[in-house]
């Protein structure tokens, strides 16, 4: 594969990809709207714009990222020169989901190609228009032997997983993540699994409630709540709840008007099956705001739920829709009781002005990543690793970490022949004390 060693070729091809995306940007935005009415602003912010900036960053840094890196040698081997070489794994399979169908397909593809791999992408079957435009762009820019797109559903995905790959990068649900991990284990293929979870959003008594409501409405209802790092549920100090709910109502109306189904800024649920799943979760007796739905149009209004039981339908699994349960707490141990019920989440949010409490919670809980006093925006900093832990995923990417994800790090030690210290060679008699001293010293 020419791209394996030729950085100029990779840069030229990635620049071609950048130009193709810029030329087809409106078509991509239209496809995302067709597939589930993703608003144009969100399409640019979270899909095309994000991919364009990832491409620019990769083109700018690829020479630096690909270069062998010299590291400080160990005195045990004196004199030597030690290096880390990055090499492509080989054949990479990328399987992507429907919720950010352009970004989550293209970002790993860019890095896998930049690192010199051959790439096969299987985009989601649930966003056919977007998958079509992805296929069109990729086939225009890349040679088939370097990067190809194979469209299809579960069967195609399983067929691909039954083949031998050198790396598999999967974004999707925990359940399918397990299927991918099992298939990969067959050939000991390394994997990145970008999965989901139940992301808590804690609000303590010191929080700026009005701003918290604004930022939570943005993070929860963007993409109609179908975001892996959206806040899944609220845990709020009991005496703050009623003010918070008032602010939330205000912010929802400000963002989407009195009837969000008329708003051009509110997406739809991906399909009838998911819409029905979400409708079934809404217990109308607990609705404090929203709750309206229209299954014919895959619409569910931004909905606030007064939740008093962690055994409810809503609190079983990741919600992945515009429904936000609000649970109250009085003591920290009640926060514990809720969070510890679930697997380690992909994201964690805390709204608080109390630095001690903030530090304490960050250290106490394990989660993929998160924000204090905001939601979702940690995703946008390419210097922060993005990924889960435990059931929310394996591995992390973005920026240089994406390039590294698709590169095997090969250690090379180049030994000098000028000096050959005798102590390491057998017979070892009389050398034990010396080696202990040396090991102690270095």
The footprint of ligand NAD (CB under 6 A) covers: 95-99, 104, 122, 124-125, 153-154, 157-158, 161, 171-173, 176, 179, 194-196, 228, 318, 320, 346, 388, 393
Residue nearest to ligand NAD (CB): 196
Q: Of 22 and 154, which CB lies nearer to ligand NAD in the complex structure? A: 154
- Asked if 148 contacts 119 with a C-beta cutoff of 8 angstroms, the reply is yes
Q: Of 195 and 236, which CB lies nearer to ligand NAD in the complex structure? A: 195
Please tell me the distance from the alpha carbon of residue 32 to that of residue 19, in angstroms, as a whole number.
19
Q: Of 17 and 193, which CB lies nearer to ligand NAD in the complex structure? A: 193
CB of 196 to ligand NAD, least distance (A): 2
- Asked if 343 contacts 199 with a C-beta cutoff of 8 angstroms, the reply is no
Q: Of 287 and 400, which CB lies nearer to ligand NAD in the complex structure? A: 400
CB of 80 to ligand NAD, least distance (A): 40
Is residue 194 flagged as an active site residue? Answer: yes
Is residue 107 flagged as an active site residue? Answer: no
Q: Of 199 and 328, which CB lies nearer to ligand NAD in the complex structure? A: 199
Instruction: List the catalytic residue out of 107, 228, 275, 371.
Output: 228
CB of 346 to ligand NAD, least distance (A): 5
Q: Three-class SS string for the chain?
A: CHHHCCHHHHHHHHHHHHHHHHHHHHHHHHHHHHHHCCCHHHHHHHHHHHHHHHHHHHHHHHHHHHCCEEECCCHHHCCEEEEEEEEECCEEEEECCCCCCCHHHHHHHHHHHHCCCEEEEECCCCCHHHHHHHHHHHHHHCCCCCEEECCCCHHHHHHHHCCCCCEEEEECCHHHHHHHHHHHHHCCCCEEEECCCCCEEEECCCCCHHHHHHHHHHHHHHHHHCCCCCCCEEEEEHHHHHHHHHHHHHHHHHHHCCCHHHCCCCCCCCCHHHHHHHHHHCCHHHEEECCCEEHHHCEECCEEEECCCCCCHHHCCCCCCCEEEEEEECCHHHHHHHHCCCCCCCEEEEECCCHHHHHHHHHHCCCCEEEECCCCHHHHCCCCCECCCHHHEECCECCHHHHHHCEEEEEEEEECCCCCCHHHCCCCCCCHHHHHHHHHHC
Q: Of 76 and 154, which CB lies nearer to ligand NAD in the complex structure? A: 154
Please tell me the distance from the alpha carbon of residue 91 to that of residue 214, in angstroms, as a whole number.
44
CB of 170 to ligand NAD, least distance (A): 7
Edge-to-edge order in the sheet of strand 393-394: 147-149, 118-122, 91-95, 167-171, 191-194, 393-394
CB of 317 to ligand NAD, least distance (A): 9
CB of 231 to ligand NAD, least distance (A): 13
Q: Of 234 and 346, which CB lies nearer to ligand NAD in the complex structure? A: 346
Q: Of 207 and 314, which CB lies nearer to ligand NAD in the complex structure? A: 314
CB of 146 to ligand NAD, least distance (A): 21
Instruction: List the catalytic residue out of 194, 251, 307, 318.
Output: 194
CB of 423 to ligand NAD, least distance (A): 50
The catalytic residues are 194, 228
């Amino acid at each position: 594969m020419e791209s394996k060693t030729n950085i100029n070729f990779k840069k030229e091809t990635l620049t071609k990809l950048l130009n193709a995306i810029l030329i087809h940007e409106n078509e991509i935005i239209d496809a995302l709207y067709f597939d589930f009415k993703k608003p144009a602003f969100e399409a640019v912010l979270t899909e095309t714009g994000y991919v364009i900036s990832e491409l620019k960053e990769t083109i700018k840094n690829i020479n630096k990222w690909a270069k062998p890196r010299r590291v400080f040698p160990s005195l045990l081997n004196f004199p030597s020169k030690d290096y880390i070489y990055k090499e492509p794994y080989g054949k990479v399979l990328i399987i992507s989901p429907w919720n950010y169908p352009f970004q989550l397909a293209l970002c790993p593809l860019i890095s896998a190609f930049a690192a010199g791999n051959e790439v096969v992408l299987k985009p989601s079957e649930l966003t056919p228009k977007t998958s079509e435009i992805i296929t069109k762009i990729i086939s225009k820019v890349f040679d088939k032997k370097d990067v190809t797109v194979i469209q299809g559903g579960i069967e195609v995905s399983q067929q691909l997983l039954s083949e031998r790959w050198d790396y598999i990068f999967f974004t999707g649900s925990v359940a399918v993540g397990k299927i991918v991990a099992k298939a990969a284990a067959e050939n000991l293929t390394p994997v990145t699994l970008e999965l989901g979870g139940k992301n808590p959003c804690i609000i303590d008594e010191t929080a700026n409630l009005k701003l918290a409501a604004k930022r939570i409405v943005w993070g929860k209802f963007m993409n109609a709540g179908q975001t892996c790092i959206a806040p899944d549920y609220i845990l709020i100090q009991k005496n703050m709840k009623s003010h918070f709910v008032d602010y939330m109502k205000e912010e929802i109306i400000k963002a989407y008007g009195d009837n969000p189904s008329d708003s051009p800024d509110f997406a739809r649920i991906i399909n009838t099956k998911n819409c029905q799943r979400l409708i079934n979760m809404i217990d109308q007796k607990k609705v404090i705001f929203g709750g309206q739905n229209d299954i014919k149009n895959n619409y569910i209004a931004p909905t606030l739920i007064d939740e008093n039981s962690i055994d409810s339908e809503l609190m079983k699994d990741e919600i992945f829709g515009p429904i936000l349960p609000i649970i109250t707490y009085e003591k920290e141990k009640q926060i514990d009781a809720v969070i510890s019920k679930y697997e380690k989440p992909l994201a964690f949010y805390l709204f608080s002005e109390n630095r001690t409490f903030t530090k304490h919670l960050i250290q106490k809980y394990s989660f993929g990543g998160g924000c204090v006093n905001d939601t979702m925006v940690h995703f946008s900093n390419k210097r922060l690793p993005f990924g889960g832990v435990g059931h929310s995923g394996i591995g992390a990417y973005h920026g240089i970490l994406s390039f590294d994800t698709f590169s095997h790090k090969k250690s090379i030690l180049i030994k000098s022949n000028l000096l050959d210290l005798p102590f390491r060679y057998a017979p070892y008699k009389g050398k034990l004390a010396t080696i202990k001293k040396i090991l102690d010293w270095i």
